[in-house]
Amino acid sequence: MNKREIDEVLEWMWMSREGSQADNSNDLAECDRVNITDGILADVEAAGYILRRGNEFVFTPKGESEASDLIRRHRLAERIVVDVLGVGGREVEDTACEFEHVIAPRLTESICTLLGHPRSCPHGLPIPEGRCCREARQSVESVVVPLSALKIGEEAYLAYISTRDYPRLQKLISFGISPGIRIKMLQKFPTYVIQAEHTQVALEEKVANCIYLWRGRRQERRTPA
């Protein structure tokens, strides 16, 4: 049995325990599922990820941590697909199911930080915490908010621009609005006016709502390397 099949079993067990397995509209329901048979469960047990207890299986510590990582990657992938790429509907799961297997584990924390340590996936299911989330909680509030949430005079750093409208994206980039720059809110009404590094830019509300910023200390910014 290959690693991918083991992953599918661990995710399925995690979701059964969480009670989200029953809802077919959620999460992993759309992924290519392995057909979980007694033989496959016996193989996963032999690999040290699960243990039989009476009629059911439970995770070993190794299985628990592996399953938590997988679910975390899948749900962070969903957030990227929905929040950053602006994808909706059926494409969400198709893309997220592939993403979870291709995101390098060492990039997970960077992605989580980029997204502001989200607590739940777009389906509302909890994202298991990583070390980055625990560290962020102990330090100054560090969350990603839409530009429109900034108060007048408040500064933050651009995390990402969520739009599928490429001409709009190009236009923003031509104003120097790109990830990592510092933004200060100058005016919110009748239009948004921001200071983006050395340039002042006026933005409509719908544009301001696609720009996401980090509030918090600058050293917490980490972009995928």
Which chain residues interact with Zn ion by CB under 5 A?
Answer: 27, 78, 112, 117, 121, 123, 130, 132-133
Minimum CB separation from Zn ion for residue 186, in Å? 31
Query: Can you tell me which residue has the tokens 């899948």?
Result: 74
Give CA 95 to chain center in angstroms: 13
Separation CA 225–CA 222 (nearest Å): 8
Triad 24, 84, 189: Cα angle to 5°: 120
The minimum distance between CB 134 and Zn ion, in angstroms, equals 8
Q: Which is nearer to Zn ion, 121 or 150 (CB)?
A: 121
Q: How far is the CB of 2 from Zn ion (least distance, A)?
A: 24
Q: Give the up-direction half-sphere exposure of residue 164: CA atoms within 13 A in the CB hemisphere.
A: 7
Which C-beta is closer to Zn ion: that of 27 or that of 220?
Answer: 27
Taking the complex as a whole, how short is the minimal distance between the CB of residue 95 and Zn ion, in angstroms? 12
Q: Cβ of residue 84: shortest distance to Zn ion, in angstroms?
A: 15
Whether residue 213 contacts residue 157, with contact meaning beta carbons closer than 8 Å, is answered with yes
- For residue 124, which phi and psi values (nearest 5 degrees)? 90, 10
**Amino acid identity for residue 212 in this structure:** Y
**Nearer to Zn ion by C-beta: 12 or 175?**
12
Q: Which of 57, 83 has the CB closer to Zn ion? A: 83
Cβ closest to Zn ion, residue 121 vs residue 208:
121
**Alpha-helical regions (H) of the chain:** 3-18, 38-46, 61-79, 90-102, 105-114, 131-138, 166-174, 205-208
